[in-house]
Amino acid sequence: MMMLQIDWDPSPILFKLGPVAIRYYSLMFVIAFMLGLHLMKKIFISEKIPLEKLDSLFIYSVVSILIGARLGHFLFYDPQFLIEKPLEVLLPVRFSPKFEFTGFAGLASHGAAIGVIIAMYLFSKKVLKKPILFILDRIVVPVAIGGMFVRLGNLMNSEIIGKATNSDYGFVFKKLGEDFPRHPAQLYEAISYLIIFVILWFVYWKTTKKEKSGYIFGLFFVLLWSARFLVEFFKEAQVDERTSWALNTGQWLSIPLVLVGLYFMFRKTKA
């Protein structure tokens, strides 16, 4: 049974270049964005969309995901910090007690989703010249696999941890000074996102569902936020909010997004 228990104590820093530390979390973001760019290139070629528009899509995506996720984290989980230190929310630095480069720690996927939708509206209107659902149906495919890498980064940071398993199964997060195993909730979520990516990739390339505007986007919302809802049962609450009967913030935010997804999957469209 002890083989099911893993003592988890990796350094979050991959290596240092002078005063600059290259962290696994940042590397996972870079991999996610680069892989997403590669996958969207394949889609653009298939759709005969000029590849020069891909550069704009990349910029819109990166900026919207980082800003949306960052603002979402503090709006949903720590609004007081947003009011008191707005610059530390928007910039990857800490000003007190001393100036320090911190990177973007504290990102909410619900905020990222809102940011991407706003950005894709602007991109579709100003650059692509197509309906917003056209690009949303396609960009959610690489977004799914990108989410997997982000959660692996969380695992390397020993953050967004799971609840205690009360058994010999789980990860013992030594960095937190603990000696008991927890659910590896980051892995649960990462594996879920990998499965979602495979489903979306199959639906896009092997079915005609992409011809129904909004279907793949809706399917992504249903799968992603359903997975998020379920995994939350194994997570420790990010803030002191859970009671014995209530859902947590992440679950309450996921429910309407699942309903939005169902609407786009099953709404009637013009023939």
**What is the torsion angle, in degrees rounded to the nearest 10, for the CA atoms of residue 257, residue 263, residue 264 and residue 269?**
-170
Structure tokens at 166: 């009360």
Out of 104-108, 139-143, 176-180, which region has the weakest mean confidence (pLDDT)? 104-108
23 versus 74: which is more confidently predicted? Answer: 23
Over 80: is that where the pLDDT of 243 sits?
A: no
Where residue 137 falls among pLDDT bands split at 50, 70, 90? very high
Average pLDDT for residues 213-224, to the nearest whole number?
Answer: 97
Per-residue pLDDT, averaged over 18-23, amounts to: 76
89-110 residue pLDDT tens: 566 556 566 655 555 556 677 7
Confidence label for 76 from pLDDT (cuts 50, 70 and 90): low
- Report whether pLDDT(271) > 50: no
* In contact, 69 and 108? CB cutoff 8 Å: yes
Q: Which of 135, 144, 111, 200 is nearest to 32 (CA)?
A: 144
Query: Mean pLDDT across the stretch 42-61?
Result: 95
Mean pLDDT of 241-245: 52
pLDDT of residue 192: 98
Where does the pLDDT of residue 141 fall: very low under 50, low under 70, confident under 90, or very high at 90 and above?
Answer: very high
pLDDT at 225: 95
Mean pLDDT of the region 212-236:
96
The pTM (predicted TM-score) of the whole model is 0.85
What average pLDDT does range 191-210 have in this prediction?
97
First vs last C-alpha separation in the chain: 57
The winner for highest mean pLDDT among 55-64, 143-152, 190-199 is 190-199
The pLDDT of residue 3 is: 60
Q: Does residue 184 come out as left (phi exceeding 0), alpha (psi in the -120 to 50 range) or beta? A: beta
Q: What percent of the chain has pLDDT over 70?
A: 83
Q: Which tokens in the block code for residue 77?
A: 């989980």
Q: Count of CB atoms within 10 A of residue 242's CB? A: 17
Distance from chain centroid for Cα 265: 21
Instruction: Specify the higher pLDDT residue, 174 or 111.
Output: 174
> Can you tell me the distance from the alpha carbon of 146 to that of 140, in angstroms, rounded to the nearest whole number?
10
Mean pLDDT score across all residues of the chain: 87
Confidence tier at 269 by pLDDT (50, 70, 90): confident
48 CB-near residues (< 8 Å, 6+ apart):
none
